[in-house]
Amino acid sequence: MSKTTWIEQEIAALKEQGLFTNIRTIQSPMDGWVVIDGRQVLNFCANNYLGLANHPAIRQAAIKAIEQYGVGPGAVRTIAGTMTLHVELEERLAKFKGVEAAITFQSGFNANTATIPALVGKGDVIFSDRLNHASIIDGCRLSRAQIVAYEHNDPDDLRKKIAETPLEGKALIVSDGVFSMDGDIAPLPELYKVAEENDFLLMVDDAHGEGVLGRGGRGIVDHFGLHGKVDIEVGTMSKAFGVMGGIVAGKRVIIDWLRQRGRPFLFSSAMTVPDAAACLAAVDVLESSTEQVDRLWSNADYFKKHMNALGFDTGATETPIVPVMLGEAPLAQQFSRELFEEGVFAMAIGFPTVPQGKARIRVMNTAAHSVEDLDAGLAAFEKVGKRLGVIS
């Protein structure tokens, strides 16, 4: 027995349970179709909602910025100074989202692990939706505050948990905006009411709502008309924006505080030059037209409607995320493999990302697909679904 034998055993067990993740290698730009193993396949996996990952104007902006500023930021911003690009990006993002100020991070994951520990600590309490994203959970743990999980999207249970929890310090309510595995939307107006009643901070992580929900993709706060009422909006530029980077938007005082106390801001270098420039160009694209956002939603509606007509269970989704519920993980993995043989790249998702027995194929609709693409995808789902006895 070597000291890594246990890892070999764990990996073997994952493979046996159909839970080992094989990562495909993409040999082309991220787009509606991608090349894998030398073959063009329809891409139903990416969070590239608006098809901006390979958008000509955004590519051009990144290239131009490299020519002007080079590639890297050199160090963390508090030490090596900050580039005009990052400052401009934060101003543009704040304006786009209709908030006082915004701060960027290297990723959405970092935005969460920066923000939560900067706002609450030992002696404080965090009320967190049971299905919140891993980066929220990690941010909560790093804060050393008490974590109280409430039932998913259940403001009544949140109220009950608040009533049951002795409180001496501060409190924060935190929720995903759109839940990425089911595609359902947090009841933000209700959460706001609870936060107001108790004078708690309210934070929403809008990673899957940024560029998707609201007018022209302005996010969940815009979707519900809650401007000025949600204290902290976390987001990412690695999904609909098609690039990479995290954002926190809200009151100036909170953003100022994060520049002083957000650890991934203080101890990790800034977004790269091409990332910042590409994100700026993505804001330009979003502000100039709602074309991509509109196509995203019409594609999603079309796909869902036809999947349901074929007899597939697409769960509780309210967004372009379409979970195709299959049950056991090995079936979902086999379904995914057979879809791939039919030219469709769609990932199986199983435990622990979703509960045991709730394995699924998750289809990510995007503006990068045409209706013909969707028809090709639907035909593959029909064929594999019938072959595997999922639909009749």
Ligand X SMILES: *Cc1c(COP(=O)(O)O)cnc(C)c1O
Q: Which stretch binds ligand X (CB under 6 A): 9-17, 141-149, 201-209, 354-362?
A: 201-209
CA atoms of 248 and 268, how far apart (whole Å): 16
Tell me which stretch binds ligand X (CB under 6 A): 108-116, 122-130, 184-192, 327-335. Answer: 108-116
Q: Which of 133, 218, 304, 362 is in the footprint of ligand X by CB under 6 A?
A: 133
Q: Does 115 sit near ligand X (CB under 6 A)?
A: no
Distance in Å, CB of 204 to ligand X, minimum: 9
Task: Give, as ranges, the residues between 162 and 191 that touch ligand X (CB under 6 A).
Answer: 176, 180
Region binding ligand X by CB under 6 A among candidate stretches 35-43, 200-208, 221-229, 247-255: 200-208
Min dist. Cβ of residue 232 to ligand X (A)? 13
**Alpha-carbon gap, residue 112 to 197, rounded angstroms:** 25
Alpha-carbon separation of residue 266 from 114, 232, 255, 261, 345 (angstroms): 9, 19, 13, 7, 39
- Label residue 352 exposed, middle or buried (CB < 10 Å: 0-12, 13-18, 19+): exposed
Cβ at position 376, least distance to ligand X in Å: 27
CB contact set of 249 (below 8 Å; sequence gap of 6+): 93, 94, 97, 99, 101, 102, 232, 233, 235, 255
Closest approach, Cβ 208 to ligand X, in A, equals 5
Residue with smaller CB distance to ligand X, 195 or 207: 207
Nearer residue to ligand X within complex by CB, 209 or 385: 209
Q: Which of 90, 129, 205, 373 touches ligand X by CB under 6 A?
A: 205
In terms of CB distance, is 179 or 335 closer to ligand X? 179
Of 180 and 365, the one with the shorter C-beta distance to ligand X is 180
**Contact status: 44 vs ligand X (CB under 6 A):** no
The set of catalytic residues is: 180, 208, 239
Does 238 contact ligand X by CB under 6 A? yes
User: For ligand X, which residue of 109, 200, 312, 340 counts as binding (CB under 6 A)?
Assistant: 109
Task: In angstroms, give the least distance from the CB of 110 to ligand X.
Answer: 7
Q: How far is the CB of 180 from ligand X (least distance, A)?
A: 5
Considering only residues 208 to 227 of the shown chain, the ones binding ligand X according to CB under 6 A are 208
Judged by CB under 6 A, which of 48, 104, 115, 135 binds ligand X?
A: 135
Among 107, 113, 314, 317, interactor with ligand X by CB under 6 A? 107
Nearer to ligand X, 105 or 381 (CB): 105
Measured in whole angstroms, how far is the alpha carbon of residue 81 from the centre of its chain?
29
Ranked by CB distance to ligand X, the top (closest) residue is 108
Residue 207 touches ligand X, criterion: CB under 6 A: yes
Taking the complex as a whole, the smallest distance from the CB of residue 106 to ligand X amounts, in Å, to 8
**265 is a site residue for ligand X (CB under 6 A):** no
Burial code (b: 16+ CB inside 10 Å, e: under 16) for 207-221 equals bbbbbbbbebbbbbb
Residues binding ligand X (CB under 6 A): 107-109, 112, 133, 135, 176, 180, 205, 207-208, 236, 238, 246
